[in-house]
């Protein structure tokens, strides 16, 4: 029995990216929207694995503006009755070498050009921002007062509440089975609850974005790469208003979480999984906690925060964020399959970038003349271009491993 009504647009994936897309499209006037999530609740899979940091300083003005838009969205949602638990505490980025300090000056210039307030500080000036941290070896600090963090599941729930208030339908516990295409255009989908006729299908399926694209006949290099972080038990002196931090030379990031320290990093020898080895109805391999990797994070960070050494760990976050060979989102409508729209390969920026991704989707679908940046993210750059999986997997993993590369 078909329990689903037709829709103009179906979004596949009820995480931060999918719900952020639905939120942006509904705000732009497209209200006949249906969001499908196979789990029993929104934000239950890839989104729930996130660390929740949101940094706006990026290597290009376009990416900076995208992140700035996400922060504006989080501020809007924070004023709603179901907030995303947004904490605008700022962030400090620490340079331990002159080369990294030079990079910070360039990043600051780019941020300023985009209209983002940032400040370059020396260690003494930065110390009051993080009193427990040792800044004696720090050459420069890039301070962004409007950065922050949120609770990932709360982001999805906040988007969902706002979407429902605008008339968006959200159907959990529903599995996509096929994408129906006629004469090169999407005409609908089939689910375990019945068929839905639609004009657009937005693929925001996270670690299953590859499989959903395959249903539309597209082979796209969306590679899940393992990521881990840990949270300690509450520690003295850690208050929720301390800034987030990033230490590129140590490939570390962190923030305060529930009175403890959340500490994560980008592994120099990462581990990826091939999406072709599991099915749409299945799941990626379970991430087995790699304690030597977590120990290496702790050991490296202890040079700056000695109290972190030996702190009891209460929880480990782990999952498979997806990466692309060129480190850019795969976003927009396929020119070969009209009506099939990608919102995947987020390179670990799905939650923090969800507001900006939604903005780009609106531009891609509803603007007759989308800008060059939006066009550069098109799935067409990979569709039928002769790439191979061996290179794609290696390159996507390298994007992860060189996340803080200069």
d(CA 261, CA 264): 10
Of the residues 296, 319, 342, the one at which a domain ends: 319
Model pLDDT for residues 142-167, shown as the tens digit of each residue: 999 999 999 999 999 999 999 999 99
Q: Name the domain count of the chain.
A: 2
In the 8-state DSSP scheme, what is residue 312?
P
Report yes or no on 192 lying in a domain: yes
Pairwise CA distance, residues 24 & 113, whole Å: 25
CATH code: domain of residue 33: 3.50.50.60
Identify the DSSP state of 46: T
Instruction: Say whether both 234 and 299 belong to one domain.
Output: yes
The domain that contains 127 carries what CATH number?
A: 3.30.9.10
Of 279, 302, 319, which closes a domain? 319
Identify whether residues 142 and 253 lie together within a single domain: yes
Give how far Cα 378 sits from Cα of 8, 300, 382, Å: 21, 39, 8
Q: Same domain, yes or no, for 194 and 98?
A: no
Q: Are both 32 and 126 inside the same structural domain? A: no
**Residues paired with residue 263 on neighbouring β-strands, in sequence order:** 230, 254
Mean pLDDT of 80-97: 98
Same domain? 395 vs 385: yes
Looking at the fold, whether 124 and 232 belong to one and the same domain comes out as yes
CA distances from 79 to 160, 244, 255 (A): 15, 22, 23
Shared-domain flag, residues 142 and 238 = yes
- The structure's pTM equals 0.96
Residues 159 and 135 in one domain: no
Would you call 224 helix, strand, or coil by DSSP? strand
Q: Nearest CA to 73 among 351, 392, 368? A: 351
Residue 2 has a pLDDT of 66
Residue 335 CB coordination number (10 Å): 12
User: What are the residues whose beta carbons fall under 8 Å from the beta carbon of 345, sequence distance 6 or more?
Assistant: 209, 220, 221, 222, 322, 323, 324, 328, 329, 330
State which of 284, 301, 319 marks the end of a domain.
319
Could you read off the pLDDT of 322-367 as tens digits, one per residue?
999 999 999 999 999 999 999 999 999 999 999 999 999 999 999 9
**Is 228 a residue whose pLDDT tops 70?**
yes
Closest among 150, 168, 13, 24 to 83, alpha carbons compared:
150
State the pLDDT at residue 225. Answer: 98
Question: Residue 288: phi, psi to the nearest 5?
Answer: -85, 130
What is the per-residue pLDDT for 385?
82
What integer is the mean pLDDT of 199-208? 98
Buried b or exposed e, range 217-228, using 16+ CB within 10 angstroms: ebebbbbbbbbb
In a domain, 121, yes or no: yes
173 and 208 part of one domain? yes
Residue 60 maps to a domain: no
> Is residue 356 included in any domain, yes or no?
yes
What digits encode the pLDDT tens for the residues 274-316?
999 999 999 999 999 999 999 999 999 999 999 999 999 999 9
Q: Which percentage of the chain shows pLDDT scores above 70?
A: 99
Q: Is residue 346 part of a domain?
A: yes
Q: How far is CA 149 from the centre of its chain?
A: 13
Are 246 and 253 in contact, with CB atoms under 8 Å apart?
Answer: yes
Tell me what pLDDT residue 282 has. Answer: 94
Residue 136: domain span: 88-147+224-319
Confidence of residue 406 (pLDDT cuts 50, 70, 90): low
Residue 56 in any domain: the answer is: no
Mean pLDDT of 34-63: 95
**What is the three-state SS of 194-223?**
EEEECCEEEECCHHHHHHHHHHCCCCCCCE
Q: Looking at residue 307, what DSSP letter applies?
A: G
| Residue pLDDT, tens place only, 2-28 | 679 999 999 999 999 999 999 999 999
Q: How far is CA 204 from CA 46, 64, 94, 347, in A?
A: 11, 22, 33, 13
Any domain includes 404: no
Shared domain check, 364 and 340:
yes
Indicate whether 73 belongs to any domain. no
Please tell me whether residues 234 and 133 are part of one structural domain: yes
Looking at the DSSP assignment, which residues form a beta bridge with residue 170? Answer: 35
Long-range contacts: 384-387, Cβ < 8 Å, 24+?
384/336, 387/221, 387/325
Are both 216 and 230 inside the same structural domain?
no
Let me know: does 268 contact 251? Beta carbons within 8 Å: yes
pLDDT on residue 405: 83
């Amino acid at each position: 029995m078909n329990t689903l009504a037709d829709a103009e647009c179906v979004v596949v994936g009820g995480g931060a990216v999918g719900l952020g897309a639905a939120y942006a499209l509904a705000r732009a006037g497209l209200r006949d929207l249906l969001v499908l999530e196979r789990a029993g609740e929104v934000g239950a899979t890839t989104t729930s694995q996130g660390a929740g940091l949101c940094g706006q300083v990026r290597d290009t003005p376009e990416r900076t503006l995208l992140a700035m838009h996400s922060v504006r969205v989080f501020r809007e949602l924070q004023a709603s009755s179901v907030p995303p638990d947004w904490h605008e505490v700022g962030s400090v980025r620490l340079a331990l070498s002159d080369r990294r300090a030079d990079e910070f000056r360039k990043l600051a210039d780019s941020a300023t050009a985009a209209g983002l307030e940032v400040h370059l500080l020396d260690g003494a000036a930065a110390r009051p921002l993080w009193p427990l941290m040792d800044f004696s070896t720090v050459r420069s600090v890039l301070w962004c007062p409007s950065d922050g963090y949120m609770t990932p599941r709360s982001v999805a729930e906040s988007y969902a509440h706002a979407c429902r208030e605008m008339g968006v339908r959200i159907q959990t516990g529903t599995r996509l089975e096929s994408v129906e295409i006629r004469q090169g255009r999407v005409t609908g989908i089939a689910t375990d609850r019945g068929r839905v006729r639609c004009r657009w299908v937005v693929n925001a399926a996270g670690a299953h974005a590859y499989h959903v694209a395959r249903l539309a006949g597209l082979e796209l290099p969306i590679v899940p790469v393992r990521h881990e972080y840990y949270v300690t038990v509450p520690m003295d002196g850690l208050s929720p208003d301390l800034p987030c931090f990033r230490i590129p030379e140590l490939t570390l990031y962190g923030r305060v979480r529930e009175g403890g320290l959340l500490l994560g990093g980008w592994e120099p020898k990462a581990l990826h999984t091939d999406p072709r080895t599991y099915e749409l109805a299945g799941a990626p391999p379970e991430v087995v906690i790699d304690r030597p990797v977590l120990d290496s994070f702790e050991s490296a960070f202890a040079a700056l925060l000695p109290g972190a050494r030996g702190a009891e760990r209460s929880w480990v976050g782990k999952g498979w964020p997806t990466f692309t060979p060129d480190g850019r989102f795969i976003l927009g409508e396929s020119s070969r399959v009209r009506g099939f729209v990608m919102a995947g390969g987020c390179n670990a920026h799905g939650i923090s970038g969800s507001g900006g991704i939604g903005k780009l989707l609106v531009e891609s679908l509803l603007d007759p003349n989308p800008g060059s940046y939006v066009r550069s993210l098109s799935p067409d750059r990979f569709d039928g271009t002769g790439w191979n999986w061996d290179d794609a997997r290696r390159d996507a993993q390298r994007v992860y491993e060189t996340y803080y590369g200069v």
